[in-house]
Amino acid sequence: MTKKPKLLVKFGSPEHMETFHSKGHMFMNSLSYFRELEFDGFRSDKSEGLVYSRDADGESITINNVEYTVRNQIRLNEPDAKLKKIFSMYSVTQENMNSHDARLKDFGESAVVILNGNEFLKRIEAAAKEQDFSCEFGMVDYIEKKVHKGSMGQ
């Protein structure tokens, strides 16, 4: 993570934020949920779980000895998109601490602020390991879809 979080903030409904704060319950949805969600302007992401993308319009590709002409892009999605879950939080970093994204209010009317993000992530990792789960942490990397070529999330 190149940007170091100063604070982590989870937005949601008052009921969900109370359960998160008091009981530690973390509600997650799958990668495919966000990819298939009807466009709502901020939570839906048709590229969620995309692992590779490049413009290949007009190029040829051979699969099982059959040649096909590519229209638009080559896009490879995470094969386990229905199994992999996401718990999204807003990260306050040195770069964004003096600015405010007006869209944050669309994520819920309540918030839980995590003052020690590193400790929180260590605890999540330990709890996941205890339950024989794996987890990954990282900042969302927004890219220009028309010009990006290659692996995603690198």
Per residue of the chain (154 residues), give pLDDT as tens: 456 777 899 999 999 999 999 999 998 888 888 777 766 666 667 777 777 777 788 888 899 999 999 888 777 777 787 788 888 888 888 788 778 777 787 888 999 999 998 899 999 999 999 999 988 888 776 666 666 666 666 5
Per residue, what are the HEC states of the chain?
Answer: CCCCEEEEEEEECHHHHHHHHHHCCCCCEEHHHHHHCCCCCCCCCCCCCEEEEEECCCCEEEECCEEEECCCEEEEECCCCCCCEECCCEEEECCCCCCCCHHHHHHCCEEEEECCHHHHHHHHHHHHHHCCCCCCCCCCCCCCCCCCCEECCC
pLDDT score recorded for residue 1? 43
Give the residues across from 150 on adjacent strands. Answer: 53
- Beta-bridged to residue 75, according to DSSP, are 53
pTM above 0.75, yes or no: no
Q: What is the pLDDT of residue 67?
A: 93
Q: How far is CA 4 from the centre of its chain?
A: 17
Phi-psi region of 54 (alpha: psi -120 to 50; beta: other; left: phi over 0): beta
